[in-house]
């Protein structure tokens, strides 16, 4: 009868996990290549407007960011709910922008300075008043190449 049963000695061999590290490393390299580091912690909520005619920001090292939006809830007691400007990691006023641009410019190589881009990440419900003030400051600081950050609409028409 027990032609196929050989006394329980022949157990299933365990699955080899020797290739598991290789698989995980492959995933790791994929994520290292395709993602970018987060630069700042956002203190304001930014919901970008949608647009279709987008151009990509090619060189991340040449881009400096200006965020405008409502402060997050934990900052609202101190800074109110009106849209505020965020430069690097902290809240700022319009008058701080020129210093920020100068600092950003100093941090780059001389050869790269003319190619610098300022990316405006502005919440879509912000009023234009504050944005216009920022734009005027950028013009004064001669940071003329700007990019209105926006995202693709969810569904294609």
In the complex, the residues that contact other proteins under the rule CB under 8 A are 17-18, 20-21, 24-25, 27-28, 31-32, 34-38, 49-57, 60, 63, 117, 119-120, 122-129, 131-132, 135-136, 138-140, 142, 144-152
| Least distance between other proteins and beta carbon 145 (Å) | 6
Phi then psi for residue 129, to 5 deg, are -50, -55
Return the number of the residue (4 or 59) whose C-beta is nearest other proteins: 59
Return the number of the residue (10 or 17) whose C-beta is nearest other proteins: 17
Return the number of the residue (108 or 119) whose C-beta is nearest other proteins: 119
| Least distance between other proteins and beta carbon 36 (Å) | 6
| Least distance between other proteins and beta carbon 22 (Å) | 9
Rounded Cα gap, residues 156 and 115, in angstroms: 32
| Least distance between other proteins and beta carbon 91 (Å) | 18
Rounded Cα gap, residues 151 and 140, in angstroms: 28
Residue closest to 103 by CA, chosen among 113, 93, 111: 113
**Token pair 């008043």 is at which residue?**
129
Return the number of the residue (113 or 140) whose C-beta is nearest other proteins: 140
| Least distance between other proteins and beta carbon 104 (Å) | 16
Return the number of the residue (1 or 22) whose C-beta is nearest other proteins: 22
- Do the Cβ atoms of 105 and 116 come closer than 8 Å? yes
Angle at 152 between CA 31 and CA 116, to 5 degrees: 70
Count CB-CB contacts under 10 A for residue 79: 14
Phi then psi for residue 24, to 5 deg, are -65, -40
């Amino acid at each position: 009868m027990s032609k196929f049963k050989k006394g329980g000695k022949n157990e299933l061999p365990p699955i080899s996990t020797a290739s598991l590290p290789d698989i995980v490393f492959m995933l790791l390299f994929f994520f290292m290549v395709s993602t970018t580091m987060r630069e700042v912690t956002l203190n304001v909520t930014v919901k970008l407007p949608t647009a279709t005619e987008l151009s990509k920001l090619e060189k991340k090292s040449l881009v400096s960011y200006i965020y405008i939006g409502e402060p997050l809830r934990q900052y609202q007691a101190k800074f109110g709910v009106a849209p505020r400007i965020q430069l690097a990691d902290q809240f700022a006023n319009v008058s701080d922008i020129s210093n920020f641009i100068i600092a950003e410019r100093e941090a780059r190589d001389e050869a790269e300075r003319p190619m610098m881009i300022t990316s405006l990440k502005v919440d879509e419900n912000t009023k234009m008043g504050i944005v216009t003030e920022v734009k005027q400051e950028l013009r004064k600081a001669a940071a003329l190449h700007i990019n209105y950050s926006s995202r693709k609409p969810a569904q294609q028409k």
